[in-house]
Amino acid sequence: MKPRWLFIGGVFGLLALAWAAAMLIENLPYQYQGTLFEPAQPVGDFLLTDQNGQSWRLSDHRGKALVLFFGYTFCPDVCPVTLADFLNIQKTLGRKAENVEFIFITVDPQRDTAEHLKTFLSKISPSFIGLTGTQPELEAVWNTFGVTVQIDPVEGPADYLVSHTARTYVIDPAGDLRLTYSFRTEPDVVAQDVAHLLDEK
Amino acid sequence: MLAQFLRRFLFLTAISLMVVWVVSELAYRLIQGDTARPPKTIELVIPLGTAERIAAGEPPLEIPSEMIFVVGDTLLVVNQDRVEHTLGPVWVPAGSSASLRLDTANDYVYTCSFQPSQLQNITVKQSANWKSRLAALWYGTPPTVMFLLVYSLVMFPLKKKEALSSKRKTQT
């Protein structure tokens, strides 16, 4: 066989191998990078008040993926960082972000009124939803998501800080809890998982 | 001279490949233990009544205090207890299961709700598979070749053409 034909055969062989490898990678099942609930965990319905003073019921938001975080507006560290990560997740998702709602549920109902949440979130992203409620309403929601809340008195204008769970939760469009992420998980990681969740049939 | 250098280079490359392979294989066997396996799902079951045992100051049943994984393993936590449990980033409500893929080799000490110490050691090791073996050769061979080459050139300098030919003449 002439060397030229050997060369052409080799090139075609390599292309066929590359195509086969691409097909293999394409068909590999996606592996979620967050903590995955299998089977998905049903979430009991709840009713809270958003930053506009309107009622917000979980079951009214089926069909969209929900990214939830529990925090408070006076938080000096974890909450602003997580909300900044939410902005990055939203940006990374691009047009898919239209099917995602970013929700901030307060752990400090005493100070986080609807009005205060509105002022706070308008500086970060008006598209984010802030939820508050009465202490018993919120406690029921915290228990659903395993959120611990502890008031720590401090000296100074803040009067007290709130120690709280810093986990991010993702609820799928069917309304079930599917994923959680620890504090400071890379926004790209969350965005990839959420994008895939939206593509699931 | 160039041909002589290339011959020596190829010879030392072959030697280096063998040396690096043997050293890395020995290191894997000594350090890694039973990690020469593909990633898999490892189940951690939290039995019913674990929280009650912990509250009573008793150790939990059937839960090891230390767990060893390889990169790519999935830790599946099955909570059969009546209350929720947490293991570091993994939160598992009562009667449900949650899984986490372990992507980074490290020694983790996680806070956890099902150990009397409230801590769980998790070690994630690099799997000794064909990829890591190739990586060892890829990273280990070039410096070994360079080291041996420099050493050989200092100890056994290349012979000049004239010297070689005169040597051959004297031999004949």
Q: Which residues of chain A have pLDDT under 70?
A: 1-3, 24-27, 201
CB B89 within 8 A of CB B112: no
CB atoms A36 and B99 under 8 Å:
yes
ipTM summary value: 0.72
Same domain assignment for residues A47 and A110: yes
Same domain, A60 and A79: yes
Tell me the two tokens of residue A169: 């939760």
CA neighbor of B39 nearest in space, from B72, B77, B69, B76: B72
**For residue range A46-62, what is the model confidence (pLDDT) as tens digits?**
999 999 999 999 999 99
Instruction: Tell me, yes or no, whether A160 and A130 share the same domain.
Output: yes
Same domain, A23 and A39: no
- Stretch 84-113 of chain A: residues touching chain B, C-beta under 8 Å: none
User: Given pLDDT bands bounded at 50, 70 and 90, which one contains residue B32?
Assistant: low
pLDDT value of residue B172:
57
Asked if residue A45 and residue A26 are part of one domain, the reply reads no
Report the pLDDT value the prediction gives residue B29, as an integer from 0 to 100.
Answer: 75
Indicate whether A115 and A145 sit together in one domain. Answer: yes
Within 10 A of A198 (CB to CB), how many other CB atoms are there? 17
Query: What is the per-residue pLDDT for A2?
Result: 65
Instruction: Give me the domain span that covers residue A14.
Output: 1-30
- The partner residue sitting opposite A146, judged by closest CB among B88, B89, B91, is B91
Residue B130: which pLDDT band, with cuts at 50, 70 and 90?
A: confident
Do A24 and A55 belong together in one domain?
no
- For chain B, report the end-to-end CA distance as a whole number of angstroms: 22
Distance CA B90, CA A34 (A): 9
Which chain B positions have a beta carbon within 8 Å of A39's beta carbon?
96-97
CB contact under 8 A, B97 and A38: yes
A117 and A144 both lie in a single domain: yes
What's the total number of domains in chain A?
2
User: Chain B: residue nearest A145 by CA?
Assistant: B93
Domains defined along chain B, listed by start = 2-32+129-156 (no CATH), 41-125 (2.60.40.420)
CATH (domain of A172): 3.40.30.10
Identify the closest residue of chain B to A35 by CA–CA distance.
B100
Q: How far is B22 from chain A (nearest CA, A)?
A: 30
Residues A133 and A89 in one domain: yes
Candidates B96, B104, B108, B113: best to mutate against A (most CBs of A within 10 A) is B96
pLDDT digits (tens, 9 = 90+) for B90-122: 999 999 999 999 988 888 888 888 887 788 888
Within this chain, do residues A6 and A57 fall inside the same structural domain, yes or no? no
CB proximity list for A188: less than 8 A, separation 6 or greater = A88, A92
Taking contacts as CB-CB distances below 8 angstroms, the residues of chain A near B89 are: 35, 167, 180-182
Considering the domain architecture, whether residues A73 and A111 belong to the same structural domain is answered as: yes
Would you call B101 and A182 a contact, using CB atoms and an 8 Å cutoff? no
Q: Do A9 and A78 have their domain in common?
A: no
